[in-house]
Amino acid sequence: MTVPRLLRGSGPLLPVLTIALLCLFLLASGPAGAAIPITGPTVITEPGSYYLANDIKDCTEPIAILIQCSNVVLDGKGKTIDGMDKTESYGIQIYNAAMTLVNIIIRNVVLSDWDSGIFINDVKNSRFEKITSKSNLNHGVLVARSMGNTFTKITATDNKGVGVLLYSQSNHNTLTEITSQNNGEGVRLRYSNGNRLEKSVIMNNAGEGVNFNEEANFNTIIKNTINGNGKNGIYVLKSNYNTITQNTLTGNKWTGIYCEQSNYNVISGNTVKDCGTRGIYLYDQCVDNAVSNNVIQNSTTHGIVIREKSNDNLINGNKIDKNGEDGLILNAADQNVIFDNLVRENAVAGIWVGVNAKNNVIFNNYFYNVNNTMFVTTNANTWNLTRGEVKSITGGKFSGGNSWGQPNGQGFSQITPDSNKDGICDSPYTLAANNIDKLPLKFKKK
């Protein structure tokens, strides 16, 4: 009502409004909004929308497309940017030495035969999607000093280096639906914190599947499939406070999840099967990690190994079944707390206690193996808590020690009576000198 009434007036308002509306129309529909075609090697220095009009084949330039400004959209339209396998060459590079670039969108492009397919350097709050980077001399996707970016539906295959590499303080990036396979290595995080890798497939890479390669902290690896890699499924080196959860790791040739000199990590809810050596390995001063509620089966050697001054770790709620040698190993490892685990049908021993393993607390576990324990030395460890009115792992009313069963029915918890039916065997179980379960649980098959 107000605008029509003003328009009926005879003053200067109508021409002013008309000019203003015309300017808005021109801004919305004029040349600034039109996508600009790219037909060959290009340097982008102005914001705007660009698209690849045709394939770029056998490009001899060291960089096919160099983006040096913020607020750029580049749509590859499914076309290919192909190089000549030269060192220090890039299909796409996003970098300006004078400033951090922001709000870059790259999508729908195939990159091949470069040193690295795409190199993203000092870029923030940008998005990269539906990019295939393959057959490069080094890396598929190389990211340095870049923060707050989203990478989705990236395919990195047949690269001699790493499929996707984040390094040098590339922090708080999200990587989702990544496919990284047949590369030298799947995904590497190096000196980069707070990143999230999820719902991705990392498989058949020659080296590590996912590599926390020193000072990669506070990262989350969740709901990924990490299979058939030539070394470890996940390798964590000198990296702390990471969360590795709900991943499926199958058929990796070394260890499923290998931590070395790394602290305060949470490894939970993963399925780790058919490893070439161990399921989960805490080695060389891994302290205060939590390994909880994982399924670890059919490793060639051991289920969970804790060794070489890896102390004060929490190991609970895991299913450790049918491994080729031992379910659990403690070797030169102190003050670990191990409880509520199912340790079943491991070929050599349920738990192997090696040199200088002492002051560990091991209770409310279900052991069901031909040999439940093996000891190299007999330093003192604790095998039960005080009798408590808490439901035990075998379903008894009271908790205390561990359940000791054997497939032949002759395990201590199977043959020792529980005359008052409280779920605790009537006699303590001496495992070795300085190692006595004073409150062994009465057996119930699980």
Looking at residues 94-114, what average pLDDT do you find?
98
Which position has the token pair 């020659």? 206
In whole angstroms, give the CA distance from residue 308 to residue 357. Answer: 9
As a whole number of angstroms, the distance between CA 276 and CA 289 comes to 23
Confidence of residue 7 (pLDDT cuts 50, 70, 90): very low
Which residues, listed in sequence order, are joined to residue 132 by a DSSP beta bridge? Answer: 110, 155
What torsion do the CA atoms of 209, 212, 213, 219 make, to the nearest 10 degrees?
150
In this prediction, residue 61 carries a pLDDT of 98
Question: For 178, how many CA atoms within 13 A lie in the half-sphere containing its CB?
Answer: 31
Mean per-residue pLDDT of the chain = 93
Mean pLDDT of 156-172: 98
User: What integer pLDDT is reported at residue 5 of this predicted model?
Assistant: 27
Q: Average pLDDT in the 122-150 region? A: 98
99-104, long-range: CB < 8 A, 24+ apart: 99/70, 100/124, 101/67, 101/68, 101/69, 101/70, 101/126, 102/70, 102/71, 102/126, 103/70, 103/71, 103/72, 104/67, 104/70, 104/71, 104/72, 104/73, 104/74
Rg for the chain, CA atoms, rounded: 30
Of 314, 344, 340, residue with least CA distance to 327: 344
Q: Do 175 and 202 form a contact (C-beta atoms < 8 A)?
A: no
296, 299, 303, 308 alpha-carbon torsion, rounded to 10°: -140
Distance (Å, whole) CA 440 – CA 419: 13
H or E, element range at 25: helix 13-29
Range 244-257 burial, b when 16+ CB lie within 10 A, else e:
bbebbbbbbbbbbb
Q: To the nearest whole percent, how much of the chain has pLDDT over 90?
A: 92
Non-local (6+) Cβ contacts of 94 within 8 A are 66, 67, 101, 104, 106, 118, 119, 120, 121, 123, 126
Kindly tell me the burial class for residue 258, based on how many C-beta atoms sit within 10 Å of its own C-beta (0-12, 13-18, 19 or more).
buried
Q: Could you state, in order of their start, the residue ranges of all structural domains in the chain? A: 1-31, 35-137, 255-446
Question: Residue 351: what pLDDT?
Answer: 98
Is pLDDT of 435 > 60? yes
**So what's the pLDDT on residue 330?**
98
Tell me, yes or no, if the pTM score tops 0.75: yes
pLDDT band at 93 (very low <50, low <70, confident <90, very high): very high
8-15 mean pLDDT: 38
